[in-house]
Amino acid sequence: MENRTEQIILIAVTLLTEHEQIEFKRKILYRKWSEDVLICLLNKKKRFRDLKKCLIEKDKNITDKMLGKILKMFLEEGLVKKVKSYESEYQCDYELTKKGRLIAQNLKDTSDLLLEKNSEK
């Protein structure tokens, strides 16, 4: 499991400058739910409850508080942006930025490749 995480991190951080790589690995990618949240947002923007539902479907039992912390961290790092909903001024969707999409796609591709290699054994 650690080997898979290390491989994913190595690929994802190649998109960043050297200084950003160190901070990014320490602050974001080593968090427990980071990879799962990014991958859930990869296909389309989601509301908080839909994002949580996506994680639960993947057997990831994350609390509202923890999901909120991760989204806040992603917003600060420029990986995710809030988009106001057309339905209500009080609702918003979370969507990956260009930087977030690149990282999420690399995480997904690496994860799929590792799963494929493991199933061949």
The pLDDT tens digits of the residues spanning 31-44 come to 778 888 988 999 88
Give residue limits of the domains in the chain. Answer: 2-120
pLDDT over threshold 50, residue 73: yes
Domain 2-120 has CATH 1.10.10.10: yes
Provide the 3-class DSSP secondary structure of residue 92: strand
DSSP 8-state class, residue 107: H
Mean pLDDT of all residues in 95-100:
90
pLDDT over threshold 80, residue 115: no
Q: What are phi and psi of 95, to 5 degrees?
A: -135, 145
Q: pLDDT confidence of 1, banded at 50, 70, 90?
A: very low
The pLDDT tens digits of the residues spanning 18-33 come to 566 656 666 666 677 8
